[in-house]
Amino acid sequence: MAGAQAQEVEQVKGLEIDFETRSPVDLRKHGSANYFDHPLTQPLMASYTFDGKTVKRWRPPEPCPDDIRHHVEAGGTVSAHNNSFERGLWQKILTPRYGWPVLHLEQCRCTAATAAAMSLPRDLEGVGSVLGLPIQKDKAGAALIRKFSIPRRARKGEDPNGIYFNEPHEFPEDFERFHDYCDVDVLTEAAADRRMVPLSSEEQALWVLDQKISDRGIRIDRRSARSALALAEKAKKLLDRELRLVTGGYVPSTTQPGKLVEWVNSQGIAMGSAAMPEIEDLLSTNDLPEHVRRALEIRQEAAKTSVAKLRAMLNRASSDGRVRGSFLFAATGPGRWVSVGVNFTNMPRPRREFDDAHPDLPTLFEAIRQEDPDLLRFMYGDVLGRPLHLISDAIRGFITAAPGHDLLQADYSGIQGAIAAWLPNEEWKLAALHEILTDPSLPDMYRRTAAGIMNMSTDVITKKHPLRQSVGKVAELALGFGGGVSAFHTMAQGYHVDLGSLYEPVWAAAEEDRREKAVKRYEKCVLTGDAKTDVLTREAWIACEIIKIGWRATNPAIAGAWHAIERAIREAVQNPGTVVHVFKCAYIVRMGFLWCRLPSGRCIAYGSPRLKDQVWACAKGPGGEWLPSEVMDRDLAERGAVKGLIKIEGETSPKATVIGVNATTRKLTRFGLYGGLAFQNTVMGIERDFLVNGMWKAEAAGYPIIAHVYDEMVCEVPRGFGDLAFFEKLICELPEWGAGMPLSAGGWRGKRYRKE
């Protein structure tokens, strides 16, 4: 991935262009659609190149340069970094206002999408740095953008409510430097483009579809959203008042979590912070005093993030009520999209009370529009009718179809678990999944998994048996990628599983060797302080470990796949240029990247692969005793050995490390590509490819997609058009590369978006 390793790739010759603009609209807050709709938004300049070396310039009010006009009218390609911005400017402003030629979406290419598909940073500065380009993005440009692209303060004698900008003629030298900055940007973009592997024709066509979906937009019920915000403000004032009463005036409002922590501690309850996980843990205890419980419940309700999501919806909705530009192509290593702006991929899960009540959505939204907290409590009771909770429960319903239209949704059923079985051929599970596809009345996979782990039959583990969810569902969702107690605990929290109550039935059902393994593992982790031993009780921890052992024993092919993939990666890194096959995939190191070719033919890229030596070693415990042996990086073990803190016991296989963009920090990070993680990436990548296959089939059949979230898609169709059963079957038609995959989908049709 270093500059010396990157090789120039033959590209389609075309126009590379970069614009600088100005507008009173906050682009980050309101999105590009609103940015370009504003009458005061205008271009300031453009820098462009056809050969990646010679830069040309344009400034308004000059006409469109002849070479650009001829190129575009001839159907030539137009490349830009984050092309949706340049395309929006071109189509909404340059063509209608400045007479530029019509630019078709199919002519566009995005170098940011190309970078993301290679697991490189999306931002131009990051790409230039990682590829070691001789031309780098000018970091001084940020100050010039602030000077010329956003409004300035009103000067003496000007209307304080007016909109004013620093004009180019007022600061000619700075404006010339601004155009120099634009020149460097386009040269950096062009240089990066020539170092990167272009999107395949299939992925380029998918990017075009992605842009069409983003342009269609997601319609928001703005009237209800505005009413919900007004309702939330009233509800918060009532909660502030109640919190003052409950705490005797010590905590004046819900926006002062520090005071709440002080007060809770003064009541004899240990509380470190007002973070939601800690509040949830405290509320799950049985001996919490009622006044303390109520104070925590008030804070929990007032801190609901759904209000911020509603504000984002309203901020980013265009004049027609539709939010556009919500999906980012190839934003994760496996190639999946993420949602930006409103973040439609991260909608809060409704409370159990909401799911159980199945409230009528038209009635609920009519009640929300009344903006009366007391009305909601009267209609839905003291628990379900808590306004801020209820708004959060119903947050998906603020997405609605246009008049005369319906939303039609479907998501793939248990697709990650099915792929995890299909990829390494876990025969019993594949057979079971195909049986369930043929006859959905048969016991589902969660029942079968719970029965296998608990040594029970599916006659005992019924659909309503508590172990179906607490053991079967949580195990299936948490343990498929090499996870252990920590992963099980995290998933169990999401499904409100009481791990303490699992110990007795799990221990009773376990064979002696599983009990012994779980206890020994617990004792080791206590010594090292690992795997949630400081959070969970001994019984809860051992219950999780026994379930993990049982799940791996009943899924030997999947558990074996983690090690097989790790060996294949190691072999590929040791032998650059050699294709190493594993299951339905293949690995190769080439051009400074480790490539994983998926069954579809698409590749996942990992930057700068290396092998890092490891050894078996044991560390000295706090009492001077030697802790159980574990695998350590050799350099760490050797440094510790010099100090007498670590004892090296023997060699083991090296681990592969790669560079990628951290999903949380968005920064480049070197990390170990262990088998479970690589298997997870592969499964997620294949999941994305099945989704894409379904998306193409939906579009071809006249079902226009407006949103998609990992394993689901939402279409907006004219009322009376289409059929849900047909749609569910259509998107499950397998591509040739997916033969034998047990794929099914379920969905709904309606006016408002929901999750079933």
Give dist(CA 649, CA 59) in Å, integer.
69
Query: What pLDDT is attached to residue 435?
Result: 94
Query: What pLDDT is attached to residue 2?
Result: 38
Residue with the bigger pLDDT between 652 and 285: it is 652
Give dist(CA 598, CA 686) in Å, integer.
7
Closest by CA position to 313, among listed 390, 212, 222 = 222
Give the phi and the psi of residue 426 in degrees, each rounded to 5. -75, 95
Query: What pLDDT is attached to residue 8?
Result: 45
Q: How confident is the model at residue 13 (pLDDT cuts 50, 70, 90)?
A: low
Query: What pLDDT is attached to residue 1?
Result: 40
Q: What is the mean pLDDT of residues 207-229?
A: 97
Query: What pLDDT is attached to residue 32?
Result: 95
Burial (Cβ within 10 Å: 0-12, 13-18, ≥19) of residue 375? middle
Give dist(CA 409, CA 576) in Å, integer.
44
Distance of alpha carbon 725 from the chain centroid? 29
- Name the β-bridge partners of 597: 586, 603
- Asked if 636 and 612 count as a contact pair (C-beta separation under 8 A), the reply is no
Type of residue found at 750: G
Q: How confident is the model at residue 280 (pLDDT cuts 50, 70, 90)?
A: confident
Which helix (DSSP H) or strand (DSSP E) does residue 3 occupy? none
- Asked if 679 and 481 count as a contact pair (C-beta separation under 8 A), the reply is yes
Query: What pLDDT is attached to residue 137?
Result: 67
Burial (Cβ within 10 Å: 0-12, 13-18, ≥19) of residue 710? middle
3-class DSSP state of 606? strand
Q: Interior CA angle at 270 toward 265 and 273, to 5°? A: 80
364: left (phi over 0), alpha (psi -120 to 50) or beta: alpha
3-class DSSP state of 646? strand
Helices (H), 575-674: 634-642
Type of residue found at 182: C
* Lookup: tokens for 542: 């051992």
Give dist(CA 571, CA 402) in Å, integer.
54
Query: What pLDDT is attached to residue 215?
Result: 96
Q: Interior CA angle at 385 toward 382 and 388, to 5°? A: 115
Calculate the alpha carbon distances from 320 to 158, 311, 521 in Å: 33, 17, 59
Q: Are strands 705-709 and 668-672 parallel, antiparallel or unpaired?
A: unpaired
Query: What pLDDT is attached to residue 520?
Result: 87
Q: Is pLDDT above 90 for 576?
A: yes
How confident is the model over 80-99, as pLDDT tens digits? 999 999 999 999 999 999 99
The full DSSP string for 294-320 is: HHHHHHHHHT-THHHHHHHHHHHB-TT
Q: Interior CA angle at 112 toward 218 and 137, to 5°? A: 130
Give the phi and the psi of residue 587 in degrees, each rounded to 5. -120, 145
The full DSSP string for 55-111 is: -EEE-TTSPPPHHHHHHHHTT--EEETTHHHHHHHIIIIIHHHH-PPP--GGGEEEH
Calculate the alpha carbon distances from 71 to 83, 99, 188 in Å: 17, 15, 21
Give dist(CA 442, CA 436) in Å, integer.
6
Task: Please state, rounded to an integer, the average pLDDT across all residues of the chain.
Answer: 91
Q: Is pLDDT above 50 for 274?
A: yes
Q: What is the mean pLDDT of residues 304-308?
A: 84
The full DSSP string for 367-388 is: HHTTT-HHHHHHHHHHHHT-HH
CB atoms under 10 Å from CB of 505, counted, come to: 16
* CB contact set of 125 (below 8 Å; sequence gap of 6+): 136, 137, 139
Give dist(CA 162, CA 34) in Å, integer.
19
Which range in 38-42, 235-239, 466-470 is most confidently predicted, on average pLDDT? 38-42
Q: What is the mean pLDDT of residues 158-186?
A: 94
Q: What is the mean pLDDT of residues 114-118?
A: 93
% of the chain at pLDDT higher than 70: 97
Query: Whose structure tokens read 């062009």?
Result: 190
- Asked if 476 and 449 count as a contact pair (C-beta separation under 8 A), the reply is yes
Q: Is pLDDT above 70 for 601?
A: yes
How confident is the model over 524-563, as pLDDT tens digits? 888 777 778 888 889 999 999 999 999 999 999 999 999 9
To the nearest 10 degrees (0 to 180), the angle between helices 556-574 and 675-700 is 100
Give the phi and the psi of residue 656 in degrees, each rounded to 5. -85, 135
Query: Whose structure tokens read 């609901």?
Result: 304
* Lookup: tokens for 191: 């240089």
Give dist(CA 672, CA 696) in Å, integer.
35
The full DSSP string for 435-485 is: HHHH-TTS--HHHHHHHHHHT--TTTS-TT-HHIIIIIIHHHHHSTTS--H
Q: What is the mean pLDDT of residues 188-217?
A: 95
Closest by CA position to 227, among listed 364, 29, 407 = 364
Q: How confident is the model at residue 5 (pLDDT cuts 50, 70, 90)?
A: very low
Which helix (DSSP H) or strand (DSSP E) does residue 45 occupy? strand 42-49
Helices (H), 141-250: 141-148, 172-195, 201-216, 222-246
Strands of 583-742 (E only): list them: 585-590, 593-597, 603-619, 630-633, 646-661, 668-672, 705-709, 712-718
Q: Is pLDDT above 50 for 9?
A: no
Give dist(CA 637, CA 615) in Å, integer.
8
Length of the chain: 756
Give dist(CA 462, CA 643) in Å, integer.
57
Q: How confident is the model at residue 736 (pLDDT cuts 50, 70, 90)?
A: very high
Q: What is the mean pLDDT of residues 570-594?
A: 95
Distance of alpha carbon 189 from the chain centroid? 26
Give dist(CA 582, CA 407) in Å, integer.
41
Query: What pLDDT is attached to residue 390?
Result: 94
Give dist(CA 226, CA 229) in Å, integer.
5
Q: How confident is the model at residue 136 (pLDDT cuts 50, 70, 90)?
A: low
Query: What pLDDT is attached to residue 739?
Result: 96
Q: Is pLDDT above 60 for 4?
A: no
Query: What pLDDT is attached to residue 10?
Result: 44
Q: Is pLDDT above 60 for 180?
A: yes
How confident is the model over 622-643, as pLDDT tens digits? 777 787 788 888 888 888 888 8
Burial (Cβ within 10 Å: 0-12, 13-18, ≥19) of residue 383? exposed
End-to-end CA distance of the chain: 43
Domains and CATH numbers, the chain: 15-199 (3.30.420), 222-400 (no CATH), 427-554 (no CATH)
Least confident span in 67-76, 522-531, 671-680, 746-755: 522-531
Query: What pLDDT is attached to residue 637?
Result: 84
Q: Is pLDDT above 80 for 667?
A: no
Q: What is the mean pLDDT of residues 305-327?
A: 94
Give dist(CA 683, CA 599) in Å, integer.
11
Type of residue found at 302: A
Q: Is pLDDT above 80 for 458?
A: yes
- Asked if 542 and 500 count as a contact pair (C-beta separation under 8 A), the reply is no
Burial (Cβ within 10 Å: 0-12, 13-18, ≥19) of residue 362? exposed
Cis peptide leading into 61, omega within 30 of 0?
Answer: yes
Q: What is the mean pLDDT of residues 416-424?
A: 96
Q: Is pLDDT above 70 for 753?
A: yes
Q: Is pLDDT above 80 for 179?
A: yes
